[in-house]
Amino acid sequence: MAITKKPLLLLIILAYFLIISVVVAQRETSPSQQTRLQEARQCRLQRLTATQPNQRIQSEGGVTELWNEFEDQFQCAGVAAMRNIIQPNSLSLPNFSPSPRLVYIEQGQGLLGLSHPGCAETYHSGQQYKSPREGSSPRGQQGQQSQRDQHQKVHRIRRGDIVALPAGVAHWCYNDGNEQLVAVSVSDLNNNANQLEQKLRSFYLAGGQPQKSMQIQQQQGQHRETFQNIFRAFDENLMAEAFNIPVDVVRRMQQEDERGLIVRVKGEGMRMIRPEEEEEYEQSYQSRRNGLDEVYCNMQIRQYLDNPKEADVYSRQAGRLNIVNSQKLRILNYMDMSAEKGNLYPNAMHTPHWTLNAHSIVYVTRGEAHVQVVGSNGQRVLDERVNQGNLFVVPQHFVSTIRAGDNGFEYVAFKTSGQPMKSPLVGYTSAFKAMPIQVLTNSFQISSQEAQSLKYNREHHTMLLPPRTGSSS
Amino acid sequence: MAITKKPLLLLIILAYFLIISVVVAQRETSPSQQTRLQEARQCRLQRLTATQPNQRIQSEGGVTELWNEFEDQFQCAGVAAMRNIIQPNSLSLPNFSPSPRLVYIEQGQGLLGLSHPGCAETYHSGQQYKSPREGSSPRGQQGQQSQRDQHQKVHRIRRGDIVALPAGVAHWCYNDGNEQLVAVSVSDLNNNANQLEQKLRSFYLAGGQPQKSMQIQQQQGQHRETFQNIFRAFDENLMAEAFNIPVDVVRRMQQEDERGLIVRVKGEGMRMIRPEEEEEYEQSYQSRRNGLDEVYCNMQIRQYLDNPKEADVYSRQAGRLNIVNSQKLRILNYMDMSAEKGNLYPNAMHTPHWTLNAHSIVYVTRGEAHVQVVGSNGQRVLDERVNQGNLFVVPQHFVSTIRAGDNGFEYVAFKTSGQPMKSPLVGYTSAFKAMPIQVLTNSFQISSQEAQSLKYNREHHTMLLPPRTGSSS
Amino acid sequence: MAITKKPLLLLIILAYFLIISVVVAQRETSPSQQTRLQEARQCRLQRLTATQPNQRIQSEGGVTELWNEFEDQFQCAGVAAMRNIIQPNSLSLPNFSPSPRLVYIEQGQGLLGLSHPGCAETYHSGQQYKSPREGSSPRGQQGQQSQRDQHQKVHRIRRGDIVALPAGVAHWCYNDGNEQLVAVSVSDLNNNANQLEQKLRSFYLAGGQPQKSMQIQQQQGQHRETFQNIFRAFDENLMAEAFNIPVDVVRRMQQEDERGLIVRVKGEGMRMIRPEEEEEYEQSYQSRRNGLDEVYCNMQIRQYLDNPKEADVYSRQAGRLNIVNSQKLRILNYMDMSAEKGNLYPNAMHTPHWTLNAHSIVYVTRGEAHVQVVGSNGQRVLDERVNQGNLFVVPQHFVSTIRAGDNGFEYVAFKTSGQPMKSPLVGYTSAFKAMPIQVLTNSFQISSQEAQSLKYNREHHTMLLPPRTGSSS
């Protein structure tokens, strides 16, 4: 009898074992927050991939597309990437982020406003307002304010611009054009400016992630924190007192709505807030260059990155590179980020090179190319054709090369340094050219002639290489 | 018989299971070092709380009270807070910390000495000493030294002062007043100056945590490293040789005693080392502003933070803010910290705002207030009345507002940036006021009149808002 | 029967328990990647040890010896140490590292070349080359290039030099002397320049870790990433096109060979690339001090650290300290590292002291000494005799003292700050001397006379103390 019962006992025990084992295993291997944090800043990448966004937040006036920030390549670089598509006559609602962000305007045009704390409102919208509170207001200069709407500078942004959004500064964007405004952006989560943890977030003053999309996220086990409204959570009476407005206005302002992050503008649109011509702005700049105004309030936040005449590297046969770094756009000194636009002619190459002091996040804006990246493990971690809309990371010191396809190739590369330095293997400024011939012959067991070829066959080229023709090989 | 024995076997097995389970669970879920490190820099706070110190180290001449540095809010901000209460005629023993520390003198007065390495001793105590080694000494200028005690500058500190203690600089503090000296301080563990890990520590040259309190700590599973004597551990003969003093003196210096971190001064007190009047110091400053002296040795380390005439923000109806940042106190450039003192009149408000580039650690010095903080999850993470002696963290970018109670409210806020920037939602420099009317109407689905009110009803106020009166609403 | 079988059952169960326990324990305590990361930056060291390298990579022309970077002391300091021994007429192959590195030349001499991207090649080797491509080349200035080999400056390095290798800059080193070139180096993995994780790595343009040594490493469960060739992994056709050279040359360049990281130079050696005399270099410096050249391309990268006439601290009875910091060698401003050479006479002492802003990695170059280090736990974490070839870490703020043996003691200390500050307990600039007598008497419960001795008995000494003689005690 004892014998017959023992197997049962054994079974119970084994079942218990099994449960324990599973519990222990789960605890240790679940892709929890902690695991992610542990893996953060791990750059032992076996494989990079050119990827598309994997999450989509549909709003009334557009779409926000997010790349998976927990992918190894983004964790290694400490960045998050997204693409906003704003419909004509639509407004991306005011928000701010804990990390600095660079935006590339891939298509369309719009108006961008930043609320720099401590900077004066010296711009006016042309529209005439009738003061709603005449007589009841304690203000003396009522007259003027009722005439024009005072606010901070509104920036015109256009296709090809790089736009710098400093950490913590509230901003909004309005598409006043006739086509979709497409903006690709990279946030440097690992930046010194971010004292919160390495995580993509935006704090919305109005709107916020629609309930629908959050439910989907939750089903996928993702966190709810990415785009949150921080105005709604405050007590309505406290806000009414703070703003000195009726509590029912606050209540309406705090109302949940399903318009999301981007809203359609009611009525005739916001064309009246269009900024005057660039020239006028530049002029007003000159006259007020002093004190805080000069260093902060009037800082340029955008630069056109696609002007062939301003190319930093230009090759008649291979293409051009346009760079915006902290020397050209001073605000990048504070953000420690920069960007490069590359236009490669059909079958041209970007030399194999590494970046000494920055990760590069490359977004393909046109065409296709064959990209190879060699990692710290001495293996090809990326070796594929990349196409328009793809994005991939080239970590610091990883060696990469790009060979444009038959229709050429265009990209924008976001960098995690305000003054990135590239070290090419080939060309006028190459690492090999800086070495004596004998170092090369002994390093590679090649002849002096071959070493000479290695050093000098591309010496008239910098960064960009024309397709090899029969005559020169 | 087998049957009767099986339950026993089962019991043994189950007992074993239980033990294993407990061991495994403990290993994995105990608030161990590793878990803490994993959680460090996690700012997904569900709940903040205004807290009191949870640990108390009783010394002969006073008390050291520590807030629990492993609380989420402190881990997120990378700071540790403590309050020292030094009895009259008592001395806080010489020690240094791996992290920079800002101290607010809540009550009383005292003398503070810092040992800047590489700075000359140019101050003398008035007391006359008879040289103990006349004749036997190899020194030539014996005469002068036997007259006066040479040492570095001693600083007068008083209620309302902010005092800057750089990382690694040994300091001591003596209460020469008639009441308790109460000093509240925040250490920025996450500061670049700290190359050790994020952990509160002080290295004591004399004294140290009493055995009693350490035993309590150990029972609570806490680490023993917080306040350690680093002189006692050295070999006595080595020290005797180093100082060229008899080994029995070293032995006495190394003796464990139960006086703790703060000791009662024997006899008539140390009043003779009182520094001369401030004016004289200031004068001597002017004359020696050159070289290293200028940039380092003579740097001011304190500033009075409660002078109504020097208020940075002043409102006749609402109160005032006094700020000490790296522009006012140059040593804060090196420490990347700063502080703000707020005095709010009864029922006045601090506008809802976020700080762009710093965490804020708020300590309540008087009165009570209703505080709301909204976090990155879009929820109220703090919503409670805070009272004198409470301390709470407002993480970077989290939006907070304070409404003073019927007796007003005073606080000191420590910041993890030498030049913090606040972005208010309300008032002259508010984010909303910087936006065109149409952005507000479309963001919140409100009328132009309502948007006007939102922008302008508080336009004559900055940061501080008077209580709402019937007339203006 | 049941009784006889139960023990068997019990045994089975217990065996199973044992297995599970072991599995669980292994999972939790294995030196896996995650565990290492968790432990990184943990400085609660119970025990430091002066250690020797534990890994050895044999190459054709020398040996690379590595200290175990996963030892607690290196993890705490965020550094990795290694020693390269290059045979005469051998070449350390071109490579670059993600972290800045300081090198001390312990023995021998050599030539060092760095490939600064963006700097011109203005130096020539004397050797005459016949152009391999005359007639077929598209270059106009063919004439000159075929005469002399143009390359960047080659630096002479000699025994006693400190050499600065910035992150990401490719470099090679050739031993043109008659004895082994021994170079000890420390990489600051935790430096801001390194955006990859805290891990020692070098990227080799030629050569690489031999398969043999990697197999050994793998057997030991170590990672394969330390020294990898990043040229071999690229597609041969892509490289042929990039360099515009025949594909079979690329194929030979990419061939795996067992020569390793250091290769023997074929034939008569590379003596023709010897740089001209130092003086000439200095001269050419003066004339071209402008623009980028000045700030970057012509920056000195080496300084002799053993010149008695340039000692920063000198004592006739005790020895001397030579320091190279960012004020003396400007490139250290960018690297935030520095070094100190100490020469102690027999039985002399380095005062007990702590370093305010840096970890110190101490390598013993000659003699032996008794070293004591007291840690943040208030315990002696190091208390042993150290000998030539030993290396140990003194973490930031830990207090250490060195007492030279009967034959004196020499060391080089690498520091993780460009401008380190030491705070001594003893001597002219000591923490105690900066304090009033009464602070000392009350701190240590000693008499005024004893406090006087404590302050003044060593007041004529700075950092270095002569052996105590009978007369002065």
pTM (2 decimals)?
A: 0.86
Q: Which helix (H) or strand (E) holds C457?
A: none
Q: What is the pLDDT of residue C322?
A: 97
pLDDT digits (tens, 9 = 90+) for C322-362: 999 999 999 999 999 999 999 999 999 999 999 999 999 99
Q: Which residue matches tokens 């006559």?
A: A89
Q: Nearest-CA distance from A236 to chain B in Å?
A: 12
pLDDT digits (tens, 9 = 90+) for A164-212: 999 999 999 999 999 999 999 999 999 989 998 888 999 999 998 887 6
CA distance linking residue A434 with residue C116, whole number of Å? 8
The phi and psi torsions of C343 (rounded to 5 degrees) equal -120, 105
Mean of all residue pLDDT scores within chain A: 83
Residue type for position A106 = E
Q: Which residues of chain C make contact with B167, given a CB cutoff of 8 A? A: 356-357
Q: Which helix (H) or strand (E) holds C270?
A: none
Q: What is the pLDDT of residue A46?
A: 82
Nearest to B398 by CA among B387, B382, B418: B382
Which carries the bigger pLDDT value, residue C435 or residue C130? Answer: C435
pLDDT digits (tens, 9 = 90+) for C34-80: 333 333 456 778 888 999 999 999 999 999 999 999 999 999 999 99
Q: What is the pLDDT of residue A275?
A: 61
Decide if B318 contacts B349 (C-beta within 8 A).
yes
pLDDT mean over A399-405: 97
Q: What is the pLDDT of residue B218?
A: 56
Q: What is the pLDDT of residue C206?
A: 95
pLDDT mean over B455-469: 90
Looking at the predicted structure, is the pLDDT value of residue B188 above 80?
yes
- CB contact residues (below 8 A), chain A span 141-200, against chain C: 190
Looking at the predicted structure, is the pLDDT value of residue A442 above 60?
yes
Residue A32: pLDDT band with limits 50, 70, 90: very low
Residue C9: pLDDT band with limits 50, 70, 90: low
User: How many CB atoms neighbour CB A211 within 10 A?
Assistant: 12
Q: Nearest-CA distance from B43 to chain C in Å?
A: 18
Rounded to a whole number of angstroms, the distance between the first and last alpha carbons of chain A is 90
Q: Which of A214-228, A283-297, B20-34, C263-277 has the lowest mean pLDDT?
A: B20-34
Q: What is the pLDDT of residue C373?
A: 97
* Cβ–Cβ contact B68 with A under 8 A: no
CB atoms A395 and C196 under 8 Å: yes
Q: Which of B17, B399, B442, B465 to mutate to test the interface with A (most CBs of A within 10 A)?
A: B442
CA distance linking residue C45 with residue C395, whole number of Å? 9
Q: Which of A333-337, B4-8, C203-207 has the lowest mean pLDDT?
A: B4-8
CA distance linking residue B468 with residue B121, whole number of Å? 56
A:B CB pairs within 8 Å: 253
Q: Which of A214-228, B50-64, B245-259, B280-294 has the lowest mean pLDDT?
A: B280-294
Touching chains, A (3+ CB pairs < 8 A): B, C
pLDDT mean over A26-45: 44
CB atoms A265 and B438 under 8 Å: yes
Which carries the bigger pLDDT value, residue B450 or residue C199? Answer: B450
ipTM for the predicted complex comes to 0.84
Which distant-in-sequence residues (6+ apart) come within 8 Å of B47 by Cβ?
B72, B381, B382
CA distance linking residue B67 with residue B84, whole number of Å? 12
Looking at the predicted structure, is the pLDDT value of residue C26 above 50?
no
Decide if C349 contacts C402 (C-beta within 8 A).
yes
Q: What is the pLDDT of residue A461?
A: 92
User: How many CB atoms neighbour CB A366 within 10 A?
Assistant: 15
CA distance linking residue A227 with residue A206, whole number of Å? 11
Decide if B196 contacts C376 (C-beta within 8 A).
yes
Q: Which helix (H) or strand (E) holds C384?
A: strand C380-387
CA distance linking residue A56 with residue A74, whole number of Å? 18
Helix (H, G, I), strand (E, B) or coil at A81: strand
Q: What is the pLDDT of residue B149?
A: 81
- Give the closest of C378, C430, C458 to B229, CB-based: C378
Indicate left, alpha or beta for C217 from its phi (over 0: left) and psi (-120 to 50: alpha). Answer: alpha
CA C76 remoteness from chain centre: 15
Which carries the bigger pLDDT value, residue B264 or residue C377? Answer: B264
- Integer Rg of chain A from CA: 27
CA distance linking residue B348 with residue B406, whole number of Å? 9
Decide if B418 contacts B335 (C-beta within 8 A).
yes
Torsion angle (degrees, nearest 10) of CA A248, A252, A254, A257? 160
Decide if C218 contacts C224 (C-beta within 8 A).
yes
Looking at the predicted structure, is the pLDDT value of residue B285 above 50?
no
Q: What is the pLDDT of residue A407?
A: 96
Q: Which residues of chain C make contact with A336, given a CB cutoff of 8 A? A: none
Looking at the predicted structure, is the pLDDT value of residue A266 above 70?
yes
Mean of all residue pLDDT scores within chain B: 83
Residue A271: pLDDT band with limits 50, 70, 90: low
CA distance linking residue A402 with residue A407, whole number of Å? 14
Residue B22: pLDDT band with limits 50, 70, 90: very low
Decide if C373 contacts C398 (C-beta within 8 A).
yes
pLDDT mean over A23-36: 35
Looking at the predicted structure, is the pLDDT value of residue A294 above 80?
no
Q: What is the pLDDT of residue C458?
A: 92
pLDDT mean over B280-289: 40
Helix (H, G, I), strand (E, B) or coil at A353: strand
Q: What is the pLDDT of residue C339?
A: 98
DSSP state at residue B205? S
Residue C126: pLDDT band with limits 50, 70, 90: low
Helix (H, G, I), strand (E, B) or coil at B20: helix
* Cβ–Cβ contact B122 with C under 8 A: no
Q: Which of A34, A443, A460, A472 to mutate to test the interface with C (most CBs of C within 10 A)?
A: A443
Q: Which helix (H) or strand (E) holds A65?
A: strand A62-66
CA B349 remoteness from chain centre: 25
Looking at the predicted structure, is the pLDDT value of residue B57 above 80?
yes
CA distance linking residue C338 with residue A293, whole number of Å? 39
pLDDT digits (tens, 9 = 90+) for B359-392: 999 999 999 999 999 998 889 999 999 999 999 9
CA distance linking residue A410 with residue A46, whole number of Å? 26
Looking at the predicted structure, is the pLDDT value of residue A282 above 60?
no
CB atoms A196 and B396 under 8 Å: yes
CB atoms A190 and C195 under 8 Å: yes
B269: nearest CA in chain C? C438
pLDDT digits (tens, 9 = 90+) for C301-325: 999 999 999 999 999 999 999 999 9
Helix (H, G, I), strand (E, B) or coil at C464: strand
Q: Which of A195-199, A246-250, B8-12, B198-202 has the lowest mean pLDDT?
A: B8-12
Residue type for position C262 = I
Q: Nearest-CA distance from B317 to chain A in Å?
A: 14
Looking at the predicted structure, is the pLDDT value of residue B26 above 50?
no
Q: What is the pLDDT of residue B325?
A: 95
- Integer Rg of chain B from CA: 27
Q: What is the pLDDT of residue B40?
A: 42
CA distance linking residue A69 with residue A81, whole number of Å? 7
Decide if B149 contacts B214 (C-beta within 8 A).
no
* Cβ–Cβ contact A372 with C under 8 A: yes
Domains detected in chain B:
55-117+150-282+293-298 (2.60.120.10), 306-465 (2.60.120.10)
CA distance linking residue B169 with residue A226, whole number of Å? 42
Q: How many helices (H) and strands (E) does chain B have?
A: 12, 26
CA distance linking residue C391 with residue C402, whole number of Å? 14
Decide if A468 contacts A346 (C-beta within 8 A).
no
Candidate ranges A284-293, B135-144, B147-156; pick with highest mean pLDDT: B147-156
Residue C214: pLDDT band with limits 50, 70, 90: low
CA distance linking residue B276 with residue B123, whole number of Å? 10
Kindly list the distances between the CA atom of residue A9 and the CA atoms of A13, A17, A322, B13, C386, in Å, as whole numbers in the listed order: 6, 12, 74, 11, 61
- CB contact residues (below 8 A), chain B span 340-369, against chain A: 349, 351-352, 354-359
Residue C3: pLDDT band with limits 50, 70, 90: very low
Q: What is the pLDDT of residue C185?
A: 98
Nearest to C400 by CA among C356, C339, C352: C352
CA distance linking residue A334 with residue B357, whole number of Å? 12
pLDDT digits (tens, 9 = 90+) for C256-301: 888 999 999 987 777 666 665 443 444 344 334 334 445 667 788 9
CA distance linking residue A213 with residue A224, whole number of Å? 10
B:C CB pairs within 8 Å: 252
CA distance linking residue B139 with residue B311, whole number of Å? 52
pLDDT digits (tens, 9 = 90+) for A53-91: 999 999 999 999 999 999 999 999 999 999 999 999 999
Decide if C363 contacts C414 (C-beta within 8 A).
yes
Touching chains, B (3+ CB pairs < 8 A): A, C
Residue A302: pLDDT band with limits 50, 70, 90: very high
| Structure-token pair, residue B469 | 């009166």
